[in-house]
A and B are shown apart, each in its own frame.
Chain A
């Protein structure tokens, strides 16, 4: 049997993997990545110097870094040490959920665009625009209402403002693509720079907090930020925000799988010509999906301002780019985004714990993070490739004249999305 045939066989096998098998594969990939990472930590531990009493000893050899401690901190530390007794959600676990919340919105933003066959690299820019708009609008709103009423009114208002401005900013590349045939990858990347530059200009000028040396807006009053529910206040986490995130996941899932608009989006993603033939208004779908995608990015920005920082400051972390990885890891499935965002959240918050608890350099922790993501994403990636290779021709999804039955019939199975993301 030739190599090509064997590869094809493996791909076909992957493509037909059942849900249980896929979970097993992902778990195995995770364990394998930890194993490889552990070896890397050991090797790095041999390449630095330390005193004997700091070192750990395996196989009769001393190593400067302890891989067991590193991974223990990376995962258990991020979850707030659930095994050590006296677990409280108030500690590092809140940081993990905080990061997860932001990544859910960023991931959904990218996933929605991907499903429509659009590479939205501009989530970061949409998030930055939404964040600044929220900060300025809520600051204005905070002068009108205050107290508990202020929270009830201002938080949804802030999210709405973030969504509107993020959406408008997302609509720009949408129009450019739909009516001027401009490649959205290029326009969204360029618009990221514009967003960063313009917000820097605004926030170092008209909107600048005169009290602060940093380029930031006047901090929002306490009542204009996400309220602390049950736990997490000290770590800038609010369960309300996470609830909004879960709501967004469910909402987007329903939108994509159970509405006519979602059908338009998905068919445009799979086969644009066929979708158009079947009556989908292609330019309208492009603009609408990029606008919605931008709105989700804008909400991420609003969360960043109203939950984490309490002000808009230049140098917004790159959640938008992390969102791309989250989305790919999730196979562009909204439900998967939740899980992928949690994994990312654990890794992000665990990194700080590792850095704090060990001498392992942050760069090395970054490598471990990358390894885990790569290993977990690869089987899924090859599964999608396998679907593409083995399935061509067997499924004419959108060529049957706009009758929605095939999609409606297969809705609800995440296995249906093969080929939508791997062009």
Chain B
């Protein structure tokens, strides 16, 4: 085959192939939202075509999202934040645009790009993640007329609404549940606990004040359940280290722990793998992981969810309703449903009634202020 035929054939095949692709602009005039954006699916590209579906004039507000490093598709933190924006898009008919920085220096760049933009003019810029705090304290000063919201940290500026979470409160409930279950003989799904065990485990991502809040709450909860149970703790050193998470959890299971709680992002996947191999249990974090990681649903007793979506949605709602509280610091705990312990999709129904009752009453006590949960490890 000579070169000309080859080029011609490739060209024809290419154009035919292109035209045959199933995607592209949908035919009708109905502005249908992209349904194929399943979040963290394998295509990697599908989940990102969310911006500007309703760019017509009837938009209630324009919102800019600057995600934490790690980006969308992490199955927890950023996806959860996007969930809030998607919900607002649907219910409040706002439009949002998003940026995924991959290094710390880009936070400021993106924040400024949103703040500078005049087409559209952004009514609110959401900064997701505590690492953005430093950049935002400078950006908010440079653009005093722009509204910002920040998740997981506090910037003291009149145009920034800060949202933090009481992760220790939710973790307390996780610790309590683990402590109550590990001291009895309990089996469900693919896991079981031995009644004579006196330890549970905690796997953290990177050692930092934020993750220590999870640890502190968990330890306090475990102690409340039974004074005899102790907590094995390990920080793996990364939020995306599945092998490291598995190793750490396996070591814990081997030394007698029945239940391991993780606050380690994707590293936690390794914890679930270890639980499945050892026939023990794990507790998930950030989202309901028995649903986001369904293949491990038979070992996930529950998940300590952190409703970043609620924070994002509330902030957007306040912009739409014109009652945005710049300078406010909102701390979302159990009371505001900012954090919660959600029972596993598959195992939840098999939990003993007295355990769920005790967890529920502990939740009431924390809300009522009868139990105060420490936010730093003892």
A interface list, Cβ under 8 A from B: 39, 42-55, 59, 61-64, 91, 95, 197, 200, 204, 212-216, 219, 234-236, 304, 308-311, 313-315, 317, 349, 352-353, 355-356, 359, 361-364
User: Which B69-103 residues have C-beta < 8 A from chain A?
Assistant: 69, 71, 97, 99-103
Q: Which residues of A contact B110 (CB under 8 A)?
A: 352, 355-356
The distance in angstroms between the C-alpha atoms of A39 and B10, with both chains bound, is: 13
Q: Which residues of B contact A236 (CB under 8 A)?
A: 105, 108
Q: Looking at the assembled complex, report how far the CB atom of B221 sits from the nearest CB atom of chain A, in whole angstroms.
A: 22
The distance in angstroms between the C-alpha atoms of A61 and B22, with both chains bound, is: 12
| Best-surrounded residue of B14, B25, B112 (most CB of chain A within 10 A) | B25
Q: Which residue from chain A places its CB closest to the CB of B50 in the assembled complex?
A: A359
The distance in angstroms between the C-alpha atoms of A317 and B15, with both chains bound, is: 40
Are A213 and B53 interface neighbours, CB within 8 A? no
Q: Which residues of B contact A364 (CB under 8 A)?
A: 45
Report the tally of A-B residue pairs with Cβ distances under 8 A.
Answer: 142
Q: Looking at the assembled complex, report how far the CB atom of A27 sits from the nearest CB atom of chain B, in whole angstroms.
A: 22
Are B23 and A46 interface neighbours, CB within 8 A? yes
Q: Which residues of A contact B46 (CB under 8 A)?
A: 48
Are A317 and B45 interface neighbours, CB within 8 A? no
Task: Offer 17 A-B interface pairs, CB within 8 angstroms, sorted by A.
Answer: A42-B18, A46-B19, A46-B21, A48-B34, A49-B49, A50-B34, A63-B25, A64-B49, A213-B133, A214-B130, A215-B207, A308-B105, A309-B105, A309-B134, A314-B206, A361-B44, A364-B45
Contact string against A for B residues 104-121, beta-carbon threshold 8 Å, 1 for contact and 0 otherwise: 111011101110100000
Decide yes or no whether B226 CB sits under 8 A from chain A.
Answer: no
Q: For A54, give its contact among B44, B52, B106, B114 (CB under 8 Å).
A: B52
The distance in angstroms between the C-alpha atoms of A95 and B109, with both chains bound, is: 8
B interface list, Cβ under 8 A from A: 14-15, 18-19, 21-27, 29, 31-32, 34-36, 44-46, 48-49, 51-53, 55, 69, 71, 97, 99-106, 108-110, 112-114, 116, 130-131, 133-134, 142, 152-153, 206-210, 237
Q: Which residues of A contact B109 (CB under 8 A)?
A: 95, 235, 349, 352
Q: Which residues of A contact B142 (CB under 8 A)?
A: 234
Q: Which residues of A contact B34 (CB under 8 A)?
A: 48-50
Q: For B99, give its contact among A51, A53, A352 (CB under 8 Å).
A: A352
The distance in angstroms between the C-alpha atoms of A55 and B26, with both chains bound, is: 9
Are A213 and B49 interface neighbours, CB within 8 A? no
* 18 extra interface residue pairs, beta carbon distance < 8 Å, beyond A48-B23, A215-B206: A43-B21, A44-B45, A47-B22, A47-B45, A49-B34, A51-B53, A53-B31, A55-B24, A64-B24, A64-B25, A200-B237, A308-B105, A315-B69, A315-B103, A315-B131, A317-B105, A352-B110, A363-B44
Q: Which residues of B contact A200 (CB under 8 A)?
A: 206, 237
Q: Looking at the assembled complex, report how far the CB atom of B146 sits from the nearest CB atom of chain A, in whole angstroms.
A: 14
Q: Looking at the assembled complex, report how far the CB atom of A165 sits from the nearest CB atom of chain B, in whole angstroms.
A: 21
